[in-house]
Amino acid sequence: MAYDRWRLAAHDVAARMGIPRRCARPELADARATLNGVDEDFQNEEELASHYGPDGPVVAALAWLHFVLGDDLKAAWAKTDPNFRLVLAQAFLWANRAHPVVIGHDLEKTAQALASLAFNHDLWLSFEETQLADFHKAFDDFFAGNFGAGSRPRPVGLDLEIVKFVRTESDAPMLFTEPTMVRAHVLLLHATSNEWLVAGRGVDTPPVPGWPPTPGHPSY
């Protein structure tokens, strides 16, 4: 029977990703990256290195979290899949479509502008503030303590994979040999030709743009 084996690496998250400590949120910079293994009959060291290595989905997810929780949405935006960026922009505009600041803007053109990497639209600062507040509300408490990323790759498409973060009570290895209730956060990663990008959160299918946008299928 395969099982998840959680173990903590000796290197802090910021150092593993090459992010200067001054740019990393203290709670995350001091936390240690968790590496998870699965029964050696199923995963060898090469497979684990691919999953946790510098070009793998776990490091990409951790980098995105560092930028988000460090209030650097512009840096996180570059690590976010364009489809997810568009959905987040559309959700913001749809929720605020009756606001005096939004009224008068062409929603589709504004969504495309906010989803771009130009950061020059007059609504960007309002969007940035709102989006960061949403992320902090969702993530702050969970990622303030010890956490780990499951070792078993969870592909949900040809170029999509789930990275599941689970809260851990200590630095000691964690073994799951049977169904267990745990606190978790799921990020959906998209493998592009150059890198992994965050394509959704809490879902195992990409969200669909529209008015309003449609969330992806919830991941359990």
Ramachandran quadrant class, 193 (left: phi over 0; alpha: psi -120 to 50; beta: rest) = alpha
pLDDT digits (tens, 9 = 90+) for 119-130: 999 999 999 999
Tell whether 147 is covered by a domain. Answer: yes
Residue ranges of the chain with per-residue pLDDT less than 50 = 1-41
Tell whether 206 is covered by a domain. Answer: no
Tell whether 64 is covered by a domain. Answer: yes
Tell whether 213 is covered by a domain. Answer: no
pLDDT of residue 172: 64
Question: Would you list the DSSP string of the chain?
Answer: ---EEEEEEEEEHHHHHT--GGGS-HHHHHSEEEEEEE-TTT--HHHHHHHHSTTSHHHHHHHHHHHHHTT-HHHHHHTB-HHHHHHHHHHHHHHTTTSTTTTTS-HHHHHHHHHSS---STTHHHHHHHHHHHHHHHHHHHHTS-EEE-SS-EEEETTEEEEEEEE-SSSS-EEE-S-----EEEEEEEE-SS-EEEEEESBSS--B-SSS-B--PBP-
pLDDT of residue 168: 80
Closest Cα partner for 89 from 73, 70, 71? 73
pLDDT of residue 31: 31
> How many domains does the structure of the chain reveal?
1
Tell whether 112 is covered by a domain. Answer: yes
Tell whether 218 is covered by a domain. Answer: no
pLDDT digits (tens, 9 = 90+) for 4-23: 333 323 233 434 444 333 33
pLDDT of residue 176: 64
pLDDT of residue 175: 64
Q: 191 lies in which domain range?
A: 4-201
Ramachandran quadrant class, 212 (left: phi over 0; alpha: psi -120 to 50; beta: rest) = beta
Tell whether 62 is covered by a domain. Answer: yes
Q: What is the pTM of this model?
A: 0.80
Tell whether 219 is covered by a domain. Answer: no
pLDDT of residue 42: 55
pLDDT of residue 140: 93
